[in-house]
Amino acid sequence: MSSQSQTLATIGGKAFNKMSYVIRMDERFLKPGTKLRDTEAILMKIDGPTNLNKVIIRTRTKDYATLEAYLDDYAVSPSKGKWWGGWMFIQVLVKNLDLYNSSWISGQHFKDGTEPSNPPTYIPTPPPVPNYPNVALHLATFTIRHTTRKSPSQPSTPLTAELTFSGLDDYNIKQGPAKLHYDSLGKWHLGGHATEKNIAKDLEENGSPWAHVHVLVDGNWIPGMEFIAMRDTPP
């Protein structure tokens, strides 16, 4: 492979080699009256996997050329607008290990993992950063509702839950005040007590569990299959 098709790898390995990530504020530093979900944004490296000095941070409504500008809108500064160690104020959604779903890690951990590898190692040059014409589709946290199941406490209201999503097979679901946790949409769809055999049978008879949910995006409920198709289409 020629040197023109390679680029310097990050010290943290392939979890940090991507060119774009979902970020959000660390709740400890959130401006009063701001919802954590509303701070979610896409951070795009524009000059290689190891360079965090040149980035674009894109929310649903605004683009930022620096981390500091993003923090000005969403964070409380402990030092009158001076963002010393600015990465400590955010969290980044990173898939650390192949066997586990993505998790929110500290921005400082992300910054450290993005440093150039030492001694130098190289990876195939990543593709250009996607355009993300609809940022909301590519964020991490969504409200989902079931098409037939109802809320236990409100029998006339569809059952809802919070989906933290970063890939078709990389997500988790939390439901209700107790934050009941489900590691697959199939289990949530069938009520949480389903076996893998139950899920496989339901998939064969009724299709994908995504066909039984709607996803809230920018105030609109989108059928789950349509949401998956739009999210997986390259921007």
pLDDT at 81: 58
Domain shared by 155 and 120, yes or no: no
List per-residue pLDDT tens for the chain, 235 residues long: 444 689 999 999 999 999 999 999 999 999 999 999 999 999 999 999 999 999 999 999 999 999 999 999 999 877 665 667 799 999 999 987 666 678 899 999 999 999 999 999 999 998 888 888 899 999 999 999 999 999 888 888 999 999 998 777 788 899 988 778 888 899 899 986 788 899 899 899 989 999 999 999 999 999 999 999 988 865 5
Domain shared by 13 and 108, yes or no: yes
Q: Report the alpha-carbon distance of residue 125 to residue 38 in Å, rounded.
A: 32
Q: Report the alpha-carbon distance of residue 234 to residue 211 in Å, rounded.
A: 21
Contacts for 53 with CB less than 8 Å, ≥ 6 apart: 47
Q: Report the alpha-carbon distance of residue 44 to residue 131 in Å, rounded.
A: 10
The reply to whether 78 falls in a domain is yes
Contact status, residue 187 vs residue 212, Cβ threshold 8 Å: no
User: Domain containing 168: what range?
Assistant: 140-232
pLDDT at 165: 85
> Residue 141 is inside which H or E element, if any?
strand 141-150
Domain shared by 144 and 117, yes or no: no
Domain count within the chain: 2
The reply to whether 133 falls in a domain is no
pLDDT at 3: 45
The reply to whether 198 falls in a domain is yes
CA distances from 203 to 170, 210, 228, 230 (A): 18, 10, 16, 21
Given 124, 149, 177, which residue is the final one in a domain? Answer: 124
Q: Report the alpha-carbon distance of residue 54 to residue 46 in Å, rounded.
A: 6
Q: Report the alpha-carbon distance of residue 97 to residue 34 in Å, rounded.
A: 31
pLDDT at 80: 65
Site of tokens 């609109």:
220
Domain shared by 16 and 55, yes or no: yes
- The DSSP output letter for 109 is H
Domain shared by 30 and 87, yes or no: yes
Q: Nearest Cα to 43, choosing from 69, 81, 7, 77? A: 69
Regarding pTM above 0.75, the answer is yes
The reply to whether 166 falls in a domain is yes
pLDDT at 234: 58
